[in-house]
Structure formats: structure tokens, C-alpha cells
Amino acid sequence: MYDHRRLGRELELFGTDPLIGAGMPYWLPAGAAVRHALEEYLRELERRAGYQHVYSPVLGKQELYEISGHWEHYSQDMYPPMSIGGEKVVLRPSLCPHHALIYRSRGRSYRELPLRLAELGGQCRAELSGVLGGLTRVRAMQLNDAHIFCSEDQAAAEALDALRLMSRAYRALGIKPARYRLSLPGPGGKYVDNSQLWQRSGDMLTGVLASAGLPYEPGAGEAAFYGPKIDIQVADSADRETTLSTVQIDLYGPERFDLDYTGADGGRHRPVIVHRSIVGSMERAVGHLIEVHGGAFPGWLAPVQIVVLPITGAQAADAAAFASLAAERGLRVEVAGADRGSLGSRIRDARLVPYQAIIGEREAAAGHAALRLRSGRRVPPMPVAQAIERVAALVAAHTTELWDDSDAGAA
């Protein structure tokens, strides 16, 4: 594995500046391209799975977090309140309270459940400067978050579906869990004191893990303050574990916000909240992807997907035409012309780019391009439009494979 901080600098993915501050990285164009591709993928994955996306602000009144319980149980991780116009406002430590208010913004019927609200939203954590580093420990992050408001009967199935979405995303991203952890409360006063609530939600999550057939280890003292969670742990380059994905069944938040819905019986019922994040924060997810792939991202995530290599200056116009057609098709493409050195050295410079399109005299005359994959494999020359279509199809499929030899791929 690689150190994402070193690669982040070398590949110009992200940077930091002491004037912005520790734990507050900025994203350079190449890193922003990776993150944008990841965000688009997640939104589409969620949309197809029945989620609806919302936006909510990164600030909220202190009172909101007093109601949610964050103020009592989590304030050591929060920034101090700011006073404005006689109100106290804080940077939010999580999106849950905002989503609970969106749920509560009007009456809800059992017919609307499960209501899956998703957001790629900002949140802040008052991390101490000693633990900050790269993209993995930051003070402000963008979270791939969702809250599923459902009946208690629906909660286990929703949590199981969330685990399935995670497996699917991990396959597309080319990453693997180090282990699954059932995070439970530990000693100390930071957890909500209600043993019956912990027992019920803990039993539900244990049942979910059993249905999924996943081996797991319990983690005492790793629960959220309001409930137990299933955490998917990944290992970093120094073999330290971090949590990337999480699923929680929450019986506490609905009580605190007095959430309800009208049941089929016409009566008032309390929903359950399933909190889930498929890949955690964009910062931690991209940091992990850099380490796992050493900068050689799957084709659909790569900052530059195709580099066009004209063999001599005589093919410059053909290379430019290839690039504009590929860009038109939505691919991220660059031309590395003969002025940048020998073909061999340009191929070496582009070693992390999934596809290299080589155009020499013969290819130019025939309207062809010779694709070379990052692995070194060469594909026989084919018409330019066909080469672009085949790469675009692989990118659209979000696969980690760089080529498809099947007839479908050749069609």
C-alpha cells in the first residue's frame, strides 16, 4: 500500500496550506475529478435504490443539538457556538438532526415509508491538531449520508439493503473490507442511558449481520452515543483501521424529535431511523482509494482516462480530433504531443492513465487509433469512434476491468 499524503502531493490530487489550517485540505483539479466521479456514482446508485436527495446547511442552532442529544453526549467533538443576532449557532457534527426536521416538516403516512433521504453534506469535527493528517483525519468533511425513516418492521430489511449497496460500491471501487464490526457501547457516560433501547437495536443489527452471512467482531465502546452500529473497517497504509461505511438502527432520535406517522389503523406510530453511509466522507474514501490503487484508479474514477499520443507532429491534428470526440463523449482526455519527448517517455509519464491512444502515420491514414492499456496490453487498432465507444461503455459500467473482450464489448 501507498501513503496517500505523499501520492496526493506527487499526483497533485490535494494540498494544504497553513493559512487555511491543519486538517482542512483543498482539492486540486485531478483530485476534484476523482471526487466528482465518486459523488456522481453514489448519487446514481442511491437514486436507483429509491433514495431521494436533499440539501441542508452545515450550521444549526445549538438548541437543535440539545434536542438531538449531541450537546450532552458529543460536544467535546464539536466547535464552540458562535453568537449571531442573539442566537447561538454551531457547525454541525452530523446531518441526522436536519434530516429529522425535514421528515417532521409535514405529516407522514405509512404509505410513504420507508422514506430514504440522502445527502452529500458538510459536517465538522473538532479534531485535535495532533491527529490530523492528509484526507483521513480532517476538521471539515463532506459525508455520503442517508437516513431511512421506516416502521420497526422494515428496519432490518433496510439495513440489509444498505449492506448490499456497500458491497456493490466496494466492487466498483476495487476496495475490500478489513472486517465487519458490531460497535456496542462501553463503560463511561457518553452513551444514552436506556438499556432496553440498546438491547432492541443491538438485537436487530445482530439479526441483520446473520441474514447477510457476514462474520463480525464486537467492538465495545465504538457505538454512536444513541445506538449500536455495523461498521465496515478498512486498513490504511500503516495497517491502522478506520471506519469507511456504517449502518445504524436508531430508536433514540425518533423519540427526541417526537417523529411520527399515521399507520394503516389511522393511529399515530413512531418510526425508526436507519442511518447509513456507503463510503463515509469523500475525504476518507478518496484517501483510501489513493492508498489502495497507488494512484492507478479504476478507469471510471481516473482523473485522466485517456491520453492521446501522436507518434510525430504530423499526427497532431488527428490526436486533437480524437481528444475532442472523446471529450464530447464525456471522457476525461489529454493529448501528450511529440513535443513532450519520445513515445517511450510519454508512455512512462502516462503510466497511471488507464488508456493510451497511440496514433501513428498508419493509424492516421486509416482513421484508427491503437489503444494501449495501463497494464501494457495492446489492443489491435480500430476506428477512432469505436475505440472511444468501447472505453465509454466500460466507464459507464463502473467496472475495475480495463477491457472487455466479449462480443458485447466489441459490438
Q: Does 98 bind Zn ion (CB under 5 A)?
A: no
In this complex, which beta carbon is closest to Zn ion, that of residue 137 or of residue 275? 275
CB of 94 to Zn ion, least distance (A): 5
> Residue with C-alpha cell 459536517?
123
Task: Estimate the crossing angle of helix 29-48 against helix 282-293, to 10 degrees.
Answer: 110
In this complex, which beta carbon is closest to Zn ion, that of residue 69 or of residue 360? 69
In this complex, which beta carbon is closest to Zn ion, that of residue 13 or of residue 96? 96
The interface with Zn ion within residues 331-390 (CB under 5 A) comprises none
Q: Spell 156-180 as b/e; 16+ CB within 10 A means b.
A: bebbebbbebbeebbebbbbebeeb
Based on its alpha-carbon atoms, the radius of gyration of the chain, rounded to whole angstroms, reads 24
Q: Which residues pair with 141 in a beta bridge?
A: 123
In this complex, which beta carbon is closest to Zn ion, that of residue 147 or of residue 346? 147
Q: Hey, which bits of 136-283 come out as E strands?
A: 140-150, 179-184, 216-220, 229-235, 241-250, 261-262, 268-269, 272-277
In this complex, which beta carbon is closest to Zn ion, that of residue 68 or of residue 315? 68
In this complex, which beta carbon is closest to Zn ion, that of residue 2 or of residue 225? 225
Report d(CA 17, CA 129) in Å as an integer: 14
Region near Zn ion per CB under 5 A, out of 51-59, 267-275, 347-355, 383-391? 267-275
In this complex, which beta carbon is closest to Zn ion, that of residue 96 or of residue 118? 96
Task: Estimate the crossing angle of helix 316-328 against helix 384-396, to 10 degrees.
Answer: 40
CB of 149 to Zn ion, least distance (A): 11
Region near Zn ion per CB under 5 A, out of 6-14, 95-103, 279-287, 361-369? 95-103
Question: Residue count at the site for Zn ion (CB under 5 A)?
Answer: 2
Q: Does 138 bind Zn ion (CB under 5 A)?
A: no
CB of 180 to Zn ion, least distance (A): 19
CB of 314 to Zn ion, least distance (A): 59
Q: Does 275 bind Zn ion (CB under 5 A)?
A: yes
Region near Zn ion per CB under 5 A, out of 90-98, 156-164, 286-294, 355-363? 90-98
Region near Zn ion per CB under 5 A, out of 73-81, 91-99, 130-138, 383-391? 91-99
Q: Does 118 bind Zn ion (CB under 5 A)?
A: no
Q: What are phi and psi of 206, to 5 degrees?
A: -60, -40
Region near Zn ion per CB under 5 A, out of 63-71, 96-104, 305-313, 341-349? 96-104
Report d(CA 38, CA 285) in Å as an integer: 9
- At position 252, the amino acid (one-letter code) is Y
Among 294, 281, 288, residue whose Cα is nearest residue 10: 294
CB of 113 to Zn ion, least distance (A): 17
DSSP string, 8-59: HHHTT-EE--TTT-TT--EE-HHHHHHHHHHHHHHHHHHHHTT-EE----SE
Choice from 30, 34, 96, 319 touching Zn ion (CB under 5 A) = 96
DSSP string, 212-248: HT--EEEEET-SBTTB-EEEEEEE-TTS-EEEEEEEE
- At position 395, the amino acid (one-letter code) is V
Region near Zn ion per CB under 5 A, out of 29-37, 217-225, 238-246, 270-278? 270-278
- DSSP-derived letter for residue 127 is -
In this complex, which beta carbon is closest to Zn ion, that of residue 96 or of residue 192? 96
* Residue 115 to residues 155, 162, 265, Cα–Cα distance (Å): 11, 14, 19
Region near Zn ion per CB under 5 A, out of 88-96, 215-223, 255-263, 308-316? 88-96
In this complex, which beta carbon is closest to Zn ion, that of residue 145 or of residue 318? 145
Among 81, 83, 86, residue whose Cα is nearest residue 66: 81
Q: Does 102 bind Zn ion (CB under 5 A)?
A: no
CB of 99 to Zn ion, least distance (A): 7
Binding site for Zn ion (CB under 5 A): 96, 275
